[in-house]
Structure 1
Amino acid sequence: MADMVFTRRTALAAAGGVALSMPAFRRVRAAEVLHVNTWGGIWERAAIKNLFEPFTRDTGIEIRPVSPVSFAKLAQQVRSGAYEFDVTTLGAGEIIRANQANLLENLDSSDLVKSPPFPGAAFQNGASSHAFATVMAYQKARYPNGPPTGWADFWDQQKFPGSRCMQRYASRILPLALAADGVPTNTPSNQIYPMDINRAFRSLDKIKPNVRVWWTQGQQSQQLLRDGEIDLIALWHGRTLELIDEGKPIEIVWNQGQLERAYWVVARGTPRRDAAMRYLESALKPERVAGFCRDSLNGPLNPAAFQYLSAAESARMPTSPAYADKVFEQDILNFGGDVNAVTQRFERWIGS
């Protein structure tokens, strides 16, 4: 019996010792795990293969994806201190909002700022990763005598009759309206920005009666084109490439495509800040971002990435050197007005 009592006490003491040691053990493990916010789907698979797994091989730090991307979640967790993810991606407009709200870790002490791997590697506490483009796509059979080549053609119902479709997104559509109205885009410093907001709305007034759908979801825009319901559409280049890969009779127009950059950022106050900073530097390595963009249908912002891509692969990317004199970039910092006020005006215009 004494032996039995001793054994039980020993077991309880041992169990207590394990229990007491568990928080320390978990703290050590937490330092070896990084949570990265993703868009899910093909985007996440491309990131796991080309960005996450190589980082883990280099550092021993496991990356666990968390989706979907959420600006609201970023803000909530920074304010609460309960972190669901440490790293996420933001567009230019969102990154400016995030800095204004003090939601991001400062990159000034990072190598991305002190020794940038390429010009513009860091922007507003973000690491310049990749870009997508809003482009024009059309049904090839619809225009056998010559396709549209720019936004002025998209606006021209006489020369290019047919149904239109555009995104319900002010900061992407107003620049296209100015391009359609003759504002130059294909220059070293495009003249779209700062935007003449009133001129943009006057241009939109001309196309509004012909826009059958103002789409709000990428899948929706793609389905309208796939089903042949729309002849001409303004949509994301990746969605267009997916249809082309399916064998659909669709063509893409790179000329006057509107580039939008995406940036990796670190949530302010995350306890895994050091690992997150290491990830940002790793994710911009040219061979890694090249593979990620190839598989996710984006374009790398690191020019050296194109050394790791074939000519055919580069031709599918809006940041390809071949399109440098054709596309133009969105410039939220030089927008021409308050983005929120313009967005509200656009929504009222849609409903009028």
Structure 2
Amino acid sequence: MTLKTPLNRACGASIGILLAAVLAATPAVAQDKTLNVVGAGGSLQTAQRYAYYTPFAEEFGVTVNEESYSGAMAKVEAMVRTNTVSFDVMQVEQDDVVTGCDEGLFEPLDWAELGNPSDFVETATQAECGVGYFVWSMVFTYDRSKIENGPETWAEFWDVDTWPGRRGLRKTPKMTLELALMADGVAPDQVYQVLSTPDGQDRAFAKLDEIKDHIVWWTTGAQPIERLAAGDVAYSAAFNGRVSNANQEGKDFALEWAGQIYGMDFWAIVKGTPHLDLAKQFIAHAIKPEQQARFPEKILYGITNKTALESLPGEMLRQLPTAADNLQSALPLSSEFWIDNQETLSKRFETWLSAS
């Protein structure tokens, strides 16, 4: 039996106070070292795991749980509005990071907690709620083991008489309408000027009408590569990194840069995450040059840390969207246009899809 003497009570009280002090001094990040990171799946997420998730988990003793999504923001909005946030860090396209920030779906970020903005390409640092970490490009591709001389421009991609077969296109108006206008002869630097007018929008949908019966729609970046490999489509729009990755795995897919549309994806933190400090720590780690330089080893998308870019071998650089030769007829994706026109053109696009 233990006697509760004044000394025993005093020691117990001291220990209790000490334990409370230790717990109070322990950072929140140490209480729950679990981070839920959401990407786009497929080979892109494999590269993210190699460059970012695994090194972060190993260095800081963190469990990184991965999820993937198709880019729809409705689920994120529902989480935030109902205070049931289970996504912590997300890969977000450039217009979504702006609108999501305006709508209160993402946490504002302070570069003082992340790094030096001057170390990055300018566009990567301009979003209030995101950090740009890779540059991607929409190109078109086909299987050269099956097709010896395929199309080389979007106009030829549209020519189903000369190059028969089904076409893969992304099931969104964004980038699809731009491709249609370039297929109709609009120069890349004039696309958004034309698409900003009612006549230009009519022109884009009319061009899509020409091949509507030949289109197989895709929603995730992995699908066009999978369908091309399976022979479900003969030609497809696709993200350049997915094509390069397939070729590294033994495929012989063409990579046509003419009329490429290039944009940037961002890391963003979902508003209301219970792991805010850990999420910021992850982003700060992921944009370091040594981490970013690992990314194109697995998938050939551009990176945004200038020191990391300078460290890449020349052969690797030439396969990135921002290589000088690949930019000659490129179209930079306009976030401003899509922020202003997304709702209207999405409704029209859905109506067009459902029409016979």
TM over 0.5: yes
Instruction: Tell me by how many angstroms 1:19 deviates.
Output: 10
Counterpart in the other structure of 1:307: 310
Q: Counterpart of 1:129 in structure 2: which amino acid? A: Y
Aligned positions, number? 339
Counterpart in the other structure of 1:124: 127
Give the alignment of 1:43-122 within 5 angstroms: 43-52=44-53, 54-55=55-56, 60=60, 62=62, 64-69=64-69, 71-81=73-83, 83-107=85-109, 110=112, 115-117=117-119, 118-122=121-125
Instruction: Tell me by how many angstroms 1:173 deviates.
Output: 0.7
- Return 76-85 or 257-266, whichever deviates more: 76-85
| 3-state secondary structure, aligned to 1:104 | coil
Distance verdict in 2 for CA 1:66–1:53, change over 3 Å: closer
* CA distance in structure 2 between the aligned counterparts of 1:311 and 1:303, rounded to whole angstroms: 15
Distance verdict in 2 for CA 1:214–1:50, change over 3 Å: closer
Q: Counterpart of 1:105 in structure 2: which amino acid? A: E
1:106-156 CA-to-partner distances (Å, cap 9, x unmatched) read 235647797432322223221111122221112325654x43211011112
Instruction: Tell me by how many angstroms 1:309 deviates.
Output: 2.0
Counterpart in the other structure of 2:258: 255
* CA distance in structure 2 between the aligned counterparts of 1:148 and 1:110, rounded to whole angstroms: 48
Q: Counterpart of 1:170 in structure 2: which amino acid? A: P
Say if 2:157 is the partner of 1:154. Answer: yes
Q: Over the residues paired in the alignment, what is the CA RMSD in angstroms?
A: 3.7
Q: Counterpart of 2:65 in structure 1: which amino acid? A: P
Seq. identity, %: 26
* 8 Å Cα contact 1:135-1:236 kept in structure 2: yes
Counterpart in the other structure of 2:190: 191
* 8 Å Cα contact 2:101-2:108 kept in structure 1: no
Give the alignment of 1:274-293 within 5 angstroms: 274-293=277-296
| 3-state secondary structure, aligned to 1:130 | strand
Distance verdict in 2 for CA 1:208–1:49, change over 3 Å: closer
Instruction: Tell me by how many angstroms 1:248 deviates.
Output: 3.3
* CA distance in structure 2 between the aligned counterparts of 1:214 and 1:82, rounded to whole angstroms: 32
| 3-state secondary structure, aligned to 2:297 | helix
5+ residue gaps, structure 2: none
Q: Counterpart of 2:109 in structure 1: which amino acid? A: L
Counterpart in the other structure of 1:33: 33
Distance verdict in 2 for CA 1:31–1:181, change over 3 Å: farther
Structure 1-normalised TM-score?
A: 0.79
5+ residue gaps, structure 1: none
* CA distance in structure 1 between the aligned counterparts of 2:108 and 2:345, rounded to whole angstroms: 29
- Return 123-132 or 213-222, whichever deviates more: 213-222
Instruction: Tell me by how many angstroms 1:79 deviates.
Output: 3.8
- Return 229-238 or 30-39, whichever deviates more: 30-39
* CA distance in structure 1 between the aligned counterparts of 2:22 and 2:187, rounded to whole angstroms: 63
Distance verdict in 2 for CA 1:63–1:157, change over 3 Å: same
| 3-state secondary structure, aligned to 2:192 | coil
* 8 Å Cα contact 2:245-2:299 kept in structure 1: no
Q: Counterpart of 1:51 in structure 2: which amino acid? A: Y
* 8 Å Cα contact 2:262-2:321 kept in structure 1: yes
1:47-95 CA-to-partner distances (Å, cap 9, x unmatched) read 344234555677x473623423574454344445554343222102321
* CA distance in structure 2 between the aligned counterparts of 1:4 and 1:45, rounded to whole angstroms: 61
* CA distance in structure 2 between the aligned counterparts of 1:249 and 1:267, rounded to whole angstroms: 39
Counterpart in the other structure of 1:230: 233
* CA distance in structure 2 between the aligned counterparts of 1:287 and 1:301, rounded to whole angstroms: 12
* CA distance in structure 1 between the aligned counterparts of 2:132 and 2:54, rounded to whole angstroms: 20
Counterpart in the other structure of 2:142: 138
Correspondence for 2:204 among 185, 200, 204: 200
